[in-house]
Amino acid sequence: MQTYRTVLVNKIPFPNGVDLLRFSLQTPSSIVFFPGQYIILKVPSGVSFVNRLYSIASSSTQTGSFELLIKRIPGGLASNYINSFAVGQSVEFSGPAGQFSLKNTPQTKVFLTTGTGIAPVRSFILSNRGHIQKHILFWGMPSVADLYLFDELKSVAIDDPLFTFFICLSKETSLDKIDPAGRSYFRPGHINDAVKELVGSPSHNGLEFYICGRREVVESLREFLYSHNIDRSLIFFERY
């Protein structure tokens, strides 16, 4: 597995302890990966190290750098280590690895993700701007206060008629807090509520589902799809 020496060149804080970090490649000077793969960070732990896996959140066409979307966990070993990174600091990674990837099929791609599980899906979306299949994203977030990347997704949707997205706000019962001009991109409630009509249609087996999020969320969404008779061969997932 390749080792990459990088430099942290940008760190953008988002709500609820989420950071978007960009690392510039030093040695080697570029990285080749397919969207959905992850990179491995060695985190010091006493006299040893532990590995932490982070999905690459940037486009695969952006070979001189890569981005990671990371949520800080209070007191977490990796969180404390990453939070100490300053712009200009050298950081080593290894990889890329992983088999979570878009299939080269004519089916509509439906992305179901929560929180920072958006990372590999963001890579899918940014890497495949010339796609010919419909792409539909359902992204679960707790509330309006937790939002990030909305303007980026809206910009992609405006430029790409084959891409649609809905942000599902599980702790909101109405959309009154959202500017009416952007309200059509939101749904109150959980992902399951928003996607019911889609999976209940007679043509649901013309869809492929890509799920990413915490283990319990992924398992819940998989069971939801199974309960609606979605063929298991059309469901792909990544858990963390």
Residue 23 has pLDDT above 70, yes or no: yes
Which pLDDT does position 181 carry in this prediction? 85
Rounded Cα gap, residues 151 and 138, in angstroms? 16
From residue 180, give the alpha-carbon distance in Å to each of 122, 185, 220. 25, 10, 31
- Choose between 206 and 122: higher pLDDT: 122
- pTM of the predicted model as reported, rounded to 2 decimal places: 0.94
Q: Which sign does the torsion angle of CA 35, 238, 72, 192 carry?
A: positive
Topology match between the domains 2-97 and 108-239: no
Q: Where are the domains of the chain?
A: 2-97, 108-239
- Average pLDDT (173-178) is 87
Which pLDDT does position 1 carry in this prediction? 86
Residue 211 has pLDDT above 90, yes or no: yes
Which pLDDT does position 203 carry in this prediction? 63
> By C-alpha distance, which of 150, 70, 151, 156 is closest to 117?
70
Split at pLDDT 50, 70, 90, the class of 202 is low
- Structurally, what CATH architecture does the domain formed by 2-97 represent? Beta Barrel (2.40)
* 53-101 pLDDT per residue, tens: 999 999 999 999 999 999 998 888 998 899 899 999 999 999 999 999 9
* 24: Cβ contacts below 8 Å, ≥ 6 apart: 6, 7, 9, 64, 65
Residue 179 has pLDDT above 70, yes or no: yes
Which pLDDT does position 204 carry in this prediction? 65
- Average pLDDT (146-166) is 96
- Does domain 108-239 fall into CATH 3.40.50.300? no
Percent of the chain exceeding pLDDT 90 equals 80
Specify the DSSP class assigned to residue 177.
T
User: Strands, DSSP E only, in 74-215?
Assistant: 90-97, 108-114, 135-141, 163-169, 186-188, 207-213
